[in-house]
Chain A
Amino acid sequence: MKYILLMSGTKGGVDHYQAWSQKDIHAHMAVLHNINKRLTESGELVATQGLAGPNEAKVVRGEKNGIPVTDGVFPESKEFLLGYWIVDVASPERACAIAGQISGAPGPGGVPTNMAIEVRRFATFEQSGSK
């Protein structure tokens, strides 16, 4: 069964991350890189992506005269998706275990960030358009 593991944070959190020391960022990325490598080897990794920062985010609603209505102003408290992992695993427990590993990636000074990772199962109804 497929799950998506969503890593989210506020704009303030992203600014905070960008102020980490090079060494801390390096250690953080090395752990995530290693998790990805292991998931690739176990055949469980379907896809993983980081998203560009909230400053490039837009929200679109309907359209007027054929032109989409876009907005780029968000409340400070809004949570933005920072990145995700799609995994194909044998059980929900395994999806949560992987999320736990990601959550444990080190932050400043090597202390685990313990950031919350949202775990969601893919719906299986017909309109799911993956190929």
Chain B
Amino acid sequence: MKYILMMNTMKAGQGIPNWAVNDLQAHIAFMMNLNKDLRSSGELVSAEGLSFPDQARLVRAGKNGVPITDGVFPESKEFLAGFWIVDVDTPERAYAIAARASAAPGPGGAPLNMPIEVRPVMSAPPPEMM
């Protein structure tokens, strides 16, 4: 079964660009190692990081087919920073992978213990909705 593991961040908390270089390198090395392990076990479907919230846009359908875009967000909005899609045997395995990602090191090497949202991915819309 497939799960998506979502790493969210508050707009105000996007402090990563201010980290010391060696803290950032340790964080990235940890994430690359996690992805490598998941690839070796055949559980990684995909993993991506997203660009920072200053490039995020909200789009709504406009009149005459012209999209209406907005780049202003409430301070409290959570932004998706990155995600993993994993194909695992049990929900517990998905939680275990999320826990590992949660413990990625931050400044001074201390685990960030950031919350990772874990959600089952639907394989297809229910047939009656197609």
Would you call A130 and B47 a contact (CB within 8 A)?
Answer: yes
Q: Which residue of A lies closest to B57 (CB)?
A: A119
Would you call B116 and A60 a contact (CB within 8 A)?
Answer: yes
Q: Which residue of A lies closest to B116 (CB)?
A: A60
| A49-B4, A96-B69, A130-B46 known; A120+B119 contact, CB < 8 A | no
What CA separation (Å) do A2 and B67 show in the bound complex? 19
What CA separation (Å) do A122 and B118 show in the bound complex? 20
Residue A123 interfacial (CB < 8 Å): yes
Residue A51 interfacial (CB < 8 Å): yes
Would you call B61 and A52 a contact (CB within 8 A)?
Answer: no
Interface string of B99-130 (1 = CB under 8 A from A): 11011000000010111111111100100111
Would you call A100 and B48 a contact (CB within 8 A)?
Answer: no
Partner of A96, one of B28, B57, B122: B57
Residue A87 interfacial (CB < 8 Å): no
Interface string of A1-41 (1 = CB under 8 A from B): 01011100000000000000010011001000100000000
What CA separation (Å) do A22 and B129 show in the bound complex? 8
Would you call A128 and B49 a contact (CB within 8 A)?
Answer: yes
Partner of B125, one of A29, A70, A80: A29
| A56-B120, A59-B115 known; A126+B59 contact, CB < 8 A | no
Partner of B61, one of A2, A56, A61, A101: A101
Q: Which residue of B lies closest to A120 (CB)?
A: B50
Would you call A119 and B56 a contact (CB within 8 A)?
Answer: yes
Residue B12 interfacial (CB < 8 Å): no
Would you call A60 and B95 a contact (CB within 8 A)?
Answer: yes
Residues of chain B with a CB closer than 8 A to A29's CB: 125, 129-130
Would you call B60 and A114 a contact (CB within 8 A)?
Answer: yes
Would you call B59 and A100 a contact (CB within 8 A)?
Answer: yes
| A60-B95, A114-B60 known; A120+B121 contact, CB < 8 A | no
Residues of chain B with a CB closer than 8 A to A120's CB: 50-51, 55-56, 80
A61-B114, A116-B59 known, 18 other contacts, Cβ within 8 Å: A51-B4, A57-B117, A57-B119, A60-B98, A60-B115, A61-B102, A61-B116, A63-B100, A63-B103, A81-B4, A99-B57, A102-B61, A104-B65, A121-B50, A122-B49, A123-B52, A129-B32, A130-B46
Cβ-closest 4 pairs across A and B: A100-B67, A104-B61, A68-B99, A129-B35
Q: 16 A-B contacts, Cβ less than 8 Å apart?
A: A49-B4, A49-B121, A59-B116, A59-B118, A62-B113, A63-B99, A81-B4, A96-B67, A97-B67, A100-B59, A100-B61, A101-B65, A103-B61, A116-B59, A120-B50, A120-B80
